Amino acid sequence: MCELLGMSANVPTDICFSFAGLMRRGGGIGPHRDGWGVAFYEGKGVRCFHDPNPCHDSAIAKLVESYPIKSQNVICHIRQANVGGVSLANTHPFTRELWGQYWAFAHNGQLANFDSTKGPFRPVGDTDSEAVFCHLLNTLSQHYEQPPDTSDLIQTLSQACQPLLEHGVCNIMLSNGDWLFTLCTSKLHWITRRAPFGAAHLSDVEVSIDFTEHTTSADIVTVIATEPLTNNEQWNACQRGEWRLWQAGETRMSGSIKR
Amino acid sequence: MCELLGMSANVPTDICFSFAGLMRRGGGIGPHRDGWGVAFYEGKGVRCFHDPNPCHDSAIAKLVESYPIKSQNVICHIRQANVGGVSLANTHPFTRELWGQYWAFAHNGQLANFDSTKGPFRPVGDTDSEAVFCHLLNTLSQHYEQPPDTSDLIQTLSQACQPLLEHGVCNIMLSNGDWLFTLCTSKLHWITRRAPFGAAHLSDVEVSIDFTEHTTSADIVTVIATEPLTNNEQWNACQRGEWRLWQAGETRMSGSIKR
């Protein structure tokens, strides 16, 4: 299984602390040796780093860990390949442009016999994950020529997720830079940090941070991850079928998809 | 004006030497302070680095200069903004997916009153350059549902470039990972290096390289740049309107567009 890490914040925030925990699982203490990637939104732009090599000894991962890139929406993924070989083309997050917006997507799980919907978006690599991403964007582009109201969009999106449940495990993160959509079909945890901030300690490596030194009292930052990344905080577990739309660090909409 | 740098090679080759020369022009000795970016193809995947900050003091540029990423097709760009503010969304190269292939594009020049063709590809930022890229991809996607023969594709592409000449200066680099297309309307130079290899010395910084130490006798590597990057080699100047299709380090097709 792969691991996902996402962030939604109301101010541009770096993800160095959480990334440091996750990358220890990338071929270091974990089995996820098959590449990693991260997408940071900055304004309408998105900055991606991809590496098909294990992240625990990646020069690019070291840069991302040490160079504080500030963003309000981040999607990160470390991979243990099941469907699709180890290659740059198969390394998440995947990105596409729709309606003049960049969309980024990462997936944890495995889908059997899933073919993407036909449409303008086609997979470049051969993962089930990229086929899911293309299915979602093809569905949205077939429904709307222009970006619709977010509530309409999310209704269409959650309906497009429904058939995925019949094909296997599908924990996903999807963003258009304005919001972050998460779907849990097996495992996903989240924590929202806000004032009064405290200290946090990573589970995977001897690193602590005192968020009071890095935040203002107005900051709201939610971190979403496959497994909790810290061992001294209370993380929330998503239910099976639960989706959430995160914006500025808060849940703006949520719902449930049943098989 | 911005500066372009491209590479086409018959074996995966790093671009560290040429990049070192180019990045000295990125706010160091040159006026190109408004960001830089590079796209490296690896198989069907593409790895991009973008930074809206000057490249001569960019941590990401230092990584790219020191970490030899090997590729057969590379597009690099340093920016002096004219149309469109300094932001990540306006930083070249731009990428899109068409026919299950990643396409990358960078532009040097300035086009007056150029609006992109309508179609599925829409600009995210507000540069004339990204509008040109969307115009080219919309034209190709309107002509072909599947990737056509390269000769048909290049004919359509060069015809789609024709109206650009009426709007201003448009030196471009476009790649689908299989080949690199260049168009010169004002300034573009190239050099093909092959056995017997020799030494080269950068114009902008005291750095030399002896290519015999880094190549085999079968290697063919073409570097294309706005201005020659070395001062001890003979670079070829492209003519106005001249386009070339580079593949595996060689010109596979060429032609000319007249206004």
Cβ within 8 Å, pair A45-B91 = yes
CB contact under 8 A, B121 and A63: no
Chain B residues within 8 A of A122 when measuring between CB atoms: 97, 99-100
DSSP string, chain B: --EEEEEEEEEEE--HHHHHHHHHTTTTSSS--S-EEEEEEETTEEEEEEESS-GGG-HHHHHHHHS---EEEEEEEE---SSS-SSGGGPSPEEEEETTEEEEEEEEEEESS--PPSSS---SS--HHHHHHHHHHHHHHHH-SS---HHHHHHHHHHHHGGGGGTEEEEEEEE-SS-EEEE-SS--EEEEEESSP-EEEBSSSS-EEEGGGT--TT-EEEEEESS-SBSSS-PEEPPTTEEEEEETTEEEEEEE---
Q: Which residue has the tokens 């990643």?
A: B102
Task: Please give the average per-residue pLDDT across A102-109, as a whole number.
Answer: 96
CATH number at residue A185: 3.60.20.10
Helices A59-66 + B59-66 axis angle, to 10: 170
What is the per-residue pLDDT for B27?
60
Placement of tokens 């003519």 in the chain? B239
Total count of domains within chain A: 1
The pLDDT value given to residue B217: 94
Determine contact, residues A203/A228, Cβ cutoff 8 Å: yes
Most confident option among A20-29, A130-139, B52-61: A130-139
pLDDT at A216: 92
Q: Is B2 a catalytic residue?
A: yes
B100 interaction partners in chain A (CB closer than 8 Å): 122-124
Q: Interface of chain A against chain B, CB under 8 Å? A: 42-50, 52, 59-60, 63, 67, 87-91, 95-97, 99-102, 120-125, 141
Are B19 and B70 a contacting pair, CB within 8 Å?
no
Find out whether A79 and A34 touch, Cβ atoms under 8 Å: yes
Average pLDDT over residues A2-24: 91
Cβ B163 vs Cβ B193: under 8 Å = no
pLDDT at B23 over 90: no
Class of residue B169 by CB neighbours under 10 A (exposed 0-12, middle 13-18, buried 19+): middle
Domain that holds residue A135: 3-256
Residues of chain B neighbouring A121 (CB-CB closer than 8 A): 97
Active-site residue set of A:
2
Strand pairing class (A236-237; A189-194): antiparallel
Q: Do A50 and B45 touch (CB under 8 A)?
A: yes
- Is residue A28 scored above 70 in pLDDT? no
Query: Chain B contacts of A69, Cβ < 8 Å?
Result: none
Residues 6+ apart with CB under 8 A from A145: none
Average pLDDT on A163-170 reads 91
Query: Per the CB < 8 Å rule, is A88 touching B43?
Result: yes
Q: Is the pLDDT of residue A1 over 70?
A: no
Residues of chain B in Cβ contact (below 8 Å) with chain A = 42-50, 52, 59-60, 63, 67, 87-91, 95-97, 99-102, 120-125, 141
Greater model confidence, B111 or A55: B111
What b/e sequence results for B122-144 when a residue is b if at least 16 CB atoms lie within 10 Å of its CB, and e otherwise? bbbbebbbbbbbbbbbbbbbeee
In Å, how far are A67, A201, B42, B125 from A205, measured between CA atoms?
19, 8, 32, 40
Task: Give chain B positions within 8 Å (CB) of A67.
Answer: 59-60
Q: Respond yes or no on whether the N-terminal peptide bond of residue B54 is cis (omega within 30° of 0).
A: no
Q: Is the pLDDT of residue A247 over 90?
A: yes
Confidence band, pLDDT 50/70/90 cuts, at residue B54:
confident
Specify burial of residue A200 (Cβ count, 10 A radius: 0-12, 13-18, 19+). buried
Distance from the Cα of B50 to chain A's closest Cα (Å) equals: 6
Average pLDDT over residues B161-187: 95
Tens of pLDDT, residues B182-191: 999 999 999 9
Q: Which two tokens stand for residue A230?
A: 């810290």
- Inspect the interface and report whether the beta carbons of B124 and A44 lie closer than 8 Å: yes
Residue-level length of chain A: 259
